[in-house]
Each structure stands twice: as structure tokens, then as C-alpha cells.
Structure 1
Amino acid sequence: MTGVLRREPALEFVRARDIRMGERPDAEVLAYAADNGFIVMSHDVNTMPSAAYARMSSYQKMLGLLMVKQSDPVGTIIPCLIMMWSASEADEWENQVSFLPLH
């Protein structure tokens, strides 16, 4: 997040742990994000996508889930996030699970 904010300070990030959601179940994190207008970005590729698909299959709103593997180079992810932010609207990611970097 720090690298993205250095290059594009207008981006808004909220960390789950900063809002006491860090240890909450994935479904609760996704619900909080939907209720507060956030797209979720997560490293939890093992469980978060399943929670997102479950939410979508029950017709609950989800503003999008961006998955980033811990092993992905930060230098690849930063420009991808900035491009997504500058070239799209948040509602374009609604009910989508996307794996970064985009290809």
C-alpha cells in the first residue's frame, strides 16, 4: 500500500486490521466492505475467493475482490492498481473476483 500511495496519494486504502476486521471471517470482511463502499484486496487466495463466490451466489452485493499472491513482485502490482484506479470506475469491479496482475 505504501508504494501505491507514494505514487498516487489520492487512492484510499483501509487495512482490515486498522478497523478491527483483521481477524474476522472473510464473509464479515466482504460484508463490511460492501456496506462501506470498498473493493477488497487480499493475499488470502485460499479462502477469500470462496467467500466472495458464496456472497455473490446468494445475491449479496460485493464491490469487487482483488487477489494478490504474496509472492507477486510489488513492482508489478503497484502499476496495475494505479492503472485500474485511473482507468475504471469502482462499479466496473462489482461482483468480480480478479487476480492481479491483470493480463
Structure 2
Amino acid sequence: MTVVHFQADADLNQAVVTGALRRQPNLSFQSAYTARLEGKKDPEVLAIAAQDGRVLVTHDRKTMPAEFGEFILTKNSSGVLILSQKLPVSDAIDAILLIWEASTAEEWVNQIMSIPF
């Protein structure tokens, strides 16, 4: 059983990443800046996250679900977590920490989840 690692998409509110790392310093949550995701298209972002074994955390409800579906037809994904932009930052942090504490990386392979549902 492997711990879940996260990758922030370029559209994710950086306060979510910063706050999650502040509350749980052992969390592996890479910023979009660190991964150089700015300006990259969804398939490339999904490929980078998969290559690094990270669940992609995004606000993109418009294009990411369809791109994810296309991606997993030919490749494995480490998973995608879509957080509503209307979700308070503290609730988004709580969700990420719950996933980190209560699930394994293996459970996220080729899975997509949206919060709220």
C-alpha cells in the first residue's frame, strides 16, 4: 500500500496547496509551478502527473473529465480529484487530508472524483 501523492493543476487555488502542507508537513503535494504545468494542455498535465505517480488536483470541471476519459483509454492515470471553486479552502484542505490519510495510491489508479459530488 502506497501513500497518495498529489499534483496541483495550474488552475488550482495555491492556498489549497499551501494550507494542506501547513497542516500536514509530511504530505507530498507538488505545486503546478514546481512541475512547470503553466500553459500545458490537459493531456500533457495528466501525463506528467501519471509519470510522477501523483493524483492531479484541479478545479477544471469543464474539460478535465473528458480528457481524463480519453487518457485512460490508452494509459494509466494516478487519478484526478476535482474540487469545486465554490468549496471553501478549509474544506478543500480537509478533503485532501482525508484522502491522504484514508486511501492508498493504488485505489486512485484510473479514478476520478469530484468534491462536492
TM-score under structure 1 length normalisation? 0.89
* Counterpart in the other structure of 2:74: 59
How far did 1:12 drift? 1.1
Is the CA contact (8 Å cut-off) linking 1:26 and 1:48 kept in structure 2?
yes
Q: What is the distance in 2 between the residues matched to 1:36 and 1:83? A: 21
1:1-103 equivalences under 5 Å are 1-56=17-72, 58-101=73-116
The percentage of aligned residue pairs carrying the same residue is: 38
Amino acid at match of 1:26: D
> Gaps (5+ residues) in structure 1?
none
- The size of the alignment, in residue pairs, is 101
Amino acid at match of 1:90: A
How far did 1:101 drift? 4.1
How far did 1:82 drift? 0.8
Q: What is the distance in 2 between the residues matched to 1:21 and 1:81? A: 20
Is the CA contact (8 Å cut-off) linking 2:49 and 2:78 kept in structure 1?
yes
